[in-house]
Structure 1
Amino acid sequence: MRATLDAAQAAGLKVVIVPLSLPDARWVQQNGGKFDDRLWSDPAFADQAVQFWGDLAAALKDHPAIAGYNLLNEPAPEKTTGLAENGAMPDLLAWQAAQAGTPRDLPKLYTRMITAVRAVDPVPPVMVDGGSYANPRALAAWPEKLDDDRVLYAFHMYEPYAATSAPNMKRDVPLRYPGVTTDYAGGEQVWNRAAVVAHIDHAFDWAAAQGLPPTRIVAAELGCMRLWPDCATYLTDVIDAVEARGGHWAFYSFREDEWEGMDYELPNSVTPGRFYYLSEEGKADKLPRDGALIGILRQRMGGSE
């Protein structure tokens, strides 16, 4: 990790450190395809997670490439409890209240982790994802902000997931945007620009109620399958929604080394098979990188197409 950070610094890049796993909360892809619920079900495991972050922050303290610490990618303490990910807001609020002081109390765990980080490194911002895989509605169910003035609150935006994700591309007729309908908030939601705005607004409305400026809210991941015909429209609507509220955003992904699905530099003429063939042959540098989608993203980041 130090070597990677050194390389980033040499290239003029800044890095946010974010683990996909914590002790006893292994990333499902590295856990035999099974969700690891241990961190969320046994209070003893939280001690290990807190110690991990204290040790990591101490080891990396003062490295000039570090822009911040994101404590855990897409936590899901709700996963095994029967709570619907996009259930009715009263249900989300009741669930969060019932978990106060338990191992599934995500804000409490974050508070302990932040205390461990700040004991050795008081400077870098700390980023925290909301529950239900960084759903903004799960963040909006938190009773209060965390007690640290250098916390950024993050959400991920792939809703409607049924349309933006890889499984949709395997349908005989892929779901389209706008117009796709999904279960949402105890009913059904027809997804269009207004629905995207309303979903994202949950995070910003919560921040405003907590007295936080919108600059403390980050759409830390947003994206859609590059070959989905509606990806450009969707990306534009999501970025518009975040920027209208004054928040930050980052897209997923830039040159993901093992997956082409959301590599927006690739034009539609590059099939998945071609990507994997050239990558396996050590010829990934031969891939064209003039896709229309990366042009949209560059323009929104203030760069040239």
Structure 2
Amino acid sequence: MNKYRFRSDYFLESVKNGIVLQSMAFDFSSNTSQISVKSMPDFCSYDVSVCICSFKRTHHLPQILDSLWNGQTFKGNVEIIVWNNNSSRSHTVSEICDKYIVQSNEQKSLQLINSSKNYFCAVRLAMPQLMQSQRLLICDDDCIPGPEFIDFFVSKHNTYPEDVLCLRGHLFLEHKLNEQNPSNFWLDYENLRFVSDERPEQLVHFIHADVCLITKQALQECSSIPVPDSSYALVDDYWMSYVLNHKFNRKLRKLTTSGVPEDYIIKRTEDSDKIGLALYTRPEVIQTKVRVYIHHMLQGWPHWESNDENITQLDEKAMKVLTENKKHFWDQLFVGFNISSEISAESVEVLAEMGVKCVRIGAVGLGDKVDYEFKAFLNDKDEEMKRLKQTISLLKSKGIRVVLTLKKELSSPEIWEFIAKNLYSEEYVVAYDLINEPFTPLESQYVFEDNDPGMSELMVNYTEMIESIRLVDKMTPIIIESSYWANVDTLSNLSIDKLIEMDDNIMVSFHFYDPQLLTQRRRNQNRYSFPSQIPDFENIKWPKMTTIDGNFIDAKFLSAIQWSQKFNVKLVLGEFGISREVSGAHQYLDSIMKACKTYAISSFIYSFRDEEWDSMDYELETDVSTGSLKQELSQNILMQTIINGIRDNVN
């Protein structure tokens, strides 16, 4: 027996020279008794690669690189690849990049490619062979990355690992190819919608790759399909959108910058849309887009997911009757509940026994299951619509009507048009509440100005959503809400007269939790009761004390109804409530329901059986220590008050 084989140095030498380590990229120490696993610098792996394609905007390159190199919150390893398409500026670009190249290491590196030819944005398709990570983050030379640029996209990629992610894009509406004049598609926008950065997250058909995250595998998939025309390099992101969605079934997801501080993700430069400089403004690009459009339409893409066979078609007479029925419902007075879309049959039975005639769906959260109600409309809208129709059918079986609302991040003309197209013929869907608790950027910072520019933006959003709904549903009433989270005091900020001119089937909603120092558990902390005197501000030496009682509530409602009468518009109270443990909570609820009866305002209590938030689950009564234990109705003053209010608010 050769005992040498059992020695440790023989074992180490065998491992070092064997096929396993020899097939891997390792550096080996000159000391044969030690193996170093330090990765080779030229072939190390990064968490993300950032590609910058530069041409004539080299003046922005220093700021872009400084932000990527020094200003990111992202803690992972980053590789930056600068591809200079302008040979006349090779020296300039090299000077800008040199200081980063010499600092390159395994945590951060910069590679520069100076091209003798302008390959336009087709250089993105060359990245799989150059990048040393599994995901490519594209940043064009007219986009200045903010401090959360990489973090934002990588975080979203972890949520949607197979999707292509962008900040803006185009949505194609369902239509047929106009063979006589196909170029009109990209000119008149009749069947085309541009979806900008701040619009809600949604799936699109055409990603704009100026700011975009795409995986290495997706790039390889795209490169595997022959490009029919070399000029498609001018619109490479359009071609990629078609190939990845149609050929490889990848979702194209437009993220939203809404709610993120300005410039935290990107800031577009002033010359971003300069005619002649911006590629999309050039005639040859516009012509190429038309050619790509013809190509993909003849290939049967996009395939619109909505199934018209499941949408009921109504004749003119039936539409007139349905319109009258939906309007007539609002001539009634009622008190309803805000509920979850996942309400059980047993819970619906309880609502019916209480005498509830209408519920509002879309504002009650689902805890850890999703970020907010109906978010699946962004991923699989047909499946989400199927679930929603099942819930509506369940409520309908007990004679309960439905108002639908969407969270601000979800509400868009495209999603509302899809909802309306599928539900316009459903008699028991009696209103679309466009945005749940909207607010302006200034209001989110508690800054109040008479000419808040955010109000103009909100009214534009309302107008666009109303127009989209009315393309497919001219019957269902539409509800808009006041700003500052639908506060009653901001009703006068609405330019309601302009909306009424375009559509007379509109109502206005407000929410009432006033004052929040009383009604909100986190702020009250068992300090204030109803009725009582409550300060207007906390933590000041001499606050103004206000008596909060039935008269206070009545005065607020009187002001609201006077405003509505001025414009002859119906008011709805979309939400009201109070933390159940507040002393006098039942009196607060009773005062609101009495005010609603006095001024003929239909209302929705917040909320019924919200499994993730017990503060306003009134079946649990006033004792917080009992946890989720429901109290007998005969001993529950809150539920007795609510049921009496439901039965009393009927005309």
TM category, shorter: 0.7 to 0.9
> Counterpart of 1:76?
439
Pick from 125, 135, 141: which aligns with 2:493? 141
Matched, 1:113 2:465: yes
In the superposition, relative to structure 1, how do residues 65 and 230 fare at CA in structure 2: closer, same or farther (>3 Å)? same
Greater relative contact order (CA < 8 Å, ≥ 6 in sequence): 1
Is this contact kept in 2: 1:226–1:261, CA < 8 A? yes
Q: 1:56 aligns with which of 419, 424, 434?
A: 419
Question: Pick from 545, 548, 564: which aligns with 1:207?
Answer: 564
2:645 maps to which of 289, 297, 300 = 300
In 2, the alpha carbon distance for the partners of 1:144 and 1:67 equals: 20
1:149 is displaced (CA, Å) by: 1.8
Q: Do the aligned residues in 1 keep the contact of 2:529 with 2:583 (CA within 8 Å)?
A: no
2:72 is aligned to none
Describe the superposition over 1:71-103 as per-residue Cα deviations: whole angstroms up to 9, x where unpaired. 11101114346424xxxxxx5xx235x5564x2
2:617 to 259, 263, 269: 263
CA distance in structure 1 between the partners assigned to 2:639 and 2:598 by the alignment: 21
Distance of 2:408 and 2:444 partners within structure 1: 17
User: Is the counterpart of residue 7 in structure 1 residue 394 in structure 2?
Assistant: yes
| Superposed displacement of residue 183, structure 1 | 4.3
Which residues of structure 2 form unaligned runs of 5+? 1-387
- Provide the C-alpha distance between the structure 2 equivalents of 1:303 and 1:264, rounded to a whole number of angstroms: 18
Shift of 1:189: 5.6
Q: Give the RMSD, CA atoms, in angstroms.
A: 2.7
Contact 2:459 2:495 in 1 (8 A): no
| SS of corresponding position for 1:219 | strand
- The aligned residue for residue 87 of structure 1 is none
Amino acid at match of 1:170: Q
Tell me the distance in 1 between the aligned counterparts of 2:496 and 2:600: 21
Corresponding letter in the other structure for 2:516: Y
The answer for the alignment partner of 2:182 in structure 1 is none
Is contact 1:67–1:124 with CA below 8 Å preserved after alignment?
yes
* 2:518 maps to 1:163: yes
Contact 1:200–1:241 (Cα < 8 Å) also in 2: yes
Residue in structure 1 matched with residue 133 of structure 2 by the alignment: none
Displacement of 1:107 in angstroms is 2.6
1:138, 1:205 → 2: CA distance? 14
CA distance in 2, matches of 1:124, 1:12: 18
Please give the secondary structure, in 2, of the residue aligned with 1:246. coil
Q: 1:183–1:168: structure 2 CA closer, same or farther, 3 Å change rule?
A: closer
With normalisation by structure 1, the TM-score equals: 0.73
Q: 1:273, CA displacement in angstroms?
A: 5.2
Per the TM alignment, residue 12 of structure 1 is displaced from its structure 2 partner at its CA by: 2.5
Normalised by the length of structure 2, the TM-score is 0.36
Counterpart AA for 2:565: A
Greater strand fraction, Structure 1 or Structure 2 = 2
The alpha-carbon distance between structure 1 residues 259 and 273, as it changes in their structure 2 partners (threshold 3 A), is farther
Q: Measure how far apart 1:159 and its partner are.
A: 0.3
SS of the aligned residue for 2:430 comes to strand
Residue 531 of structure 2 is matched in structure 1 by 177
State which structure, 1 or 2, has the greater radius of gyration over its C-alpha atoms.
2
Deviations 1:184-233 (A, max 9, x none): 9xx94603333222223332121122133xxx101111111111112122
Amino acid at match of 1:265: E
Contact (CA 8 Å) 1:20, 1:72: kept in 2 or not? yes
Give, in whole Å, the separation in 1 of the partners of 2:445 and 2:616: 31
Q: 1:51 to 1:230 in 2, by over 3 A?
A: same
Residue deviations 1:104-133 (CA, integer Å, cap 9, x gap): xx2332122111111101111111111000
Aligned to 2:481: 129
C-alpha distance in 1 between matches for 2:389 and 2:492: 35
Counterpart of 1:112, as a letter, is E
Instruction: Structure 1: state its 5+ residue gaps.
Output: 26-48, 85-90, 279-285
Corresponding residue number in structure 2 for 1:234? 588
Counterpart CA distance in 2 for 1:83 and 1:197 is 27
Q: Structure 2 vs 1, CA of residues 288 and 193 (structure 1 numbering), >3 Å: closer, same or farther?
A: closer
Conservation of the 8 A alpha-carbon contact between 2:582 and 2:622:
no
Shift of 1:177: 3.0
Residue 301 of structure 1 aligns to a residue whose secondary structure is helix
The aligned residue for residue 192 of structure 1 is 549
Going from structure 1 to structure 2, the CA distance change for 1:111 and 1:202 (only over 3 Å counts) comes to farther
SS of the counterpart of 1:254? coil
Q: What is the match of residue 42 of structure 1?
A: none
Q: 1:95 is paired with a residue of what secondary structure?
A: coil
Give 1:40's aligned residue.
none
